[in-house]
Chains A and B, each alone.
Chain A
Amino acid sequence: MTLHIAIGIALVFSINSNAKTIVVCETCEFPSIREAVEFSAPYDTLEIRKGTYKEFNIRIDKPLTLLGIDYPIIDGAFKGEIVQVVSDHVTIDGLFIINVGTSYTEDFAAVRVSNSEHFLVQNLVLEKLFFGIYIEKSNNGRVYNNKIVGDAEEEYNSGNGIQLWYSNHVEVDKNIVTHVRDGIYLEFSNFCKITNNRSNDNIRYGLHFMFSNDDLYQFNTFENNGAGVAVMFSKQIEMLDNTFKNNWGPASYGILLKEINDSNIRRNRFQNNTTGINIEGSNRVNYEHNDFVGNGWAVKFRGACYTNIFRENNFLFNSFDLAYNSKVNDNLFTQNYWSNYTGYDLNEDGLGDIPYRPVKLFTYVVNRTPEAIILLRSLFVDIIDFSEKVSPVFTPDNLLDEQPKMKRIDHGSD
Chain B
Amino acid sequence: MIKILKYSFYDLIRSRWTYVYFAFYLLLGIVLLFLNNDLSKAVITLMNVIIILVPLISTVFGVMYYYNSREFTELLLAQPVKRSSIFIGQYLGVALSLSISLVVGLGLPFIFYGIFKSVAIWDFVLLLVTGTFLSLIFTALSFNIALANENRIKGFGYAILLWLFMAVIYDGLFLISLLIFEEYPLDTFSIAATLFNPIDLSRVLILLKLDISALLGYTGALFQKFFGTYFGMLISSAVLVLWVIVPSFFIYRRSRRKDF
Interface residues of A (CB under 8 A from B): 248-251, 272-275, 294-297, 317-320, 365, 368-381, 383
Contact = CB atoms under 8 A, between A and B. Distances in A.
Contact of B175 (A273, A295, A365): A365
B221 A371 contact: no
B228 to A, nearest CB: 12
B215 interface: yes
A383 B168 CA distance: 9
Given A369-B182, A370-B219, A373-B219, A380 B214 contact: no
In this complex, the member of A294, A370, A374, A377 whose beta carbon has the largest number of chain B beta carbons within 10 angstroms is A374
A371 B190 contact: yes
A239 to B, nearest CB: 21
Contacts of B48: 377
25 contacts: A249-B216, A249-B221, A274-B216, A294-B213, A295-B214, A296-B220, A297-B214, A365-B175, A369-B179, A369-B182, A370-B218, A370-B219, A371-B187, A371-B190, A371-B219, A374-B200, A374-B204, A374-B223, A375-B171, A375-B200, A376-B207, A378-B203, A380-B171, A381-B171, A381-B175
A222 to B, nearest CB: 15
B58 interface: no
The 9 closest A-B pairs by CB, nearest first: A296-B214, A319-B214, A380-B171, A370-B219, A296-B213, A371-B186, A250-B218, A369-B182, A378-B171
Interface string B172-187: 1011001100100011
B52 interface: yes
Nearest to B171: A380
A368 B215 contact: no
Given A248-B213, A376-B214, A377-B47, 9 more contacts: A275-B217, A296-B220, A297-B217, A365-B179, A371-B190, A371-B219, A372-B179, A374-B204, A376-B207
A317 B41 contact: yes
Contacts of A372: 175, 178-179
A15 B30 CA distance: 74
Given A378-B171, A380-B172, A381-B171, A272 B203 contact: no
A393 to B, nearest CB: 14
B194 interface: yes
Contacts of B41: 317
B125 to A, nearest CB: 20
A248 B178 contact: no
Contacts of B207: 376-377
A324 to B, nearest CB: 16
B45 to A, nearest CB: 11
B213 A379 contact: no
Interface of B: 41, 47-48, 51-52, 167-169, 171-172, 174-175, 178-179, 182, 186-187, 189-191, 194, 200, 203-204, 207, 211-221, 223
Contacts of A250: 216-218, 220-221
Given A376-B207, A376-B211, A368 B174 contact: no
Contacts of B167: 379-380
In this complex, the member of A250, A318, A320 whose beta carbon has the largest number of chain B beta carbons within 10 angstroms is A250
B213 A272 contact: yes
Contacts of A365: 175, 179
B214 A274 contact: yes
A274 B217 contact: yes
B104 to A, nearest CB: 26
Nearest to B182: A369
B183 to A, nearest CB: 10
Nearest to B220: A373
A335 B96 CA distance: 50
B211 A296 contact: yes
Given A369-B182, A375-B174, A274 B213 contact: yes
Contacts of A381: 171, 175
Contacts of B211: 296, 319, 376-377
Contacts of B194: 374
Contact of B217 (A317, A369, A370): A370
B215 A373 contact: yes
B55 to A, nearest CB: 11
Contacts of A272: 213
B195 to A, nearest CB: 11
A275 B217 CA distance: 8
Contacts of A320: 214
B177 to A, nearest CB: 10
A379 B168 contact: yes
A294 B217 CA distance: 14
Contacts of A317: 41
B81 to A, nearest CB: 41
A26 B218 CA distance: 55
A248 B204 CA distance: 19
Contacts of B203: 377-378
Nearest to A318: B214
Contacts of B168: 379-380, 383
Nearest to B197: A378
B212 to A, nearest CB: 8
A378 B215 CA distance: 14
B200 A378 contact: yes
A381 B215 CA distance: 16
Contacts of A374: 190-191, 194, 200, 204, 223
A319 B214 CA distance: 6
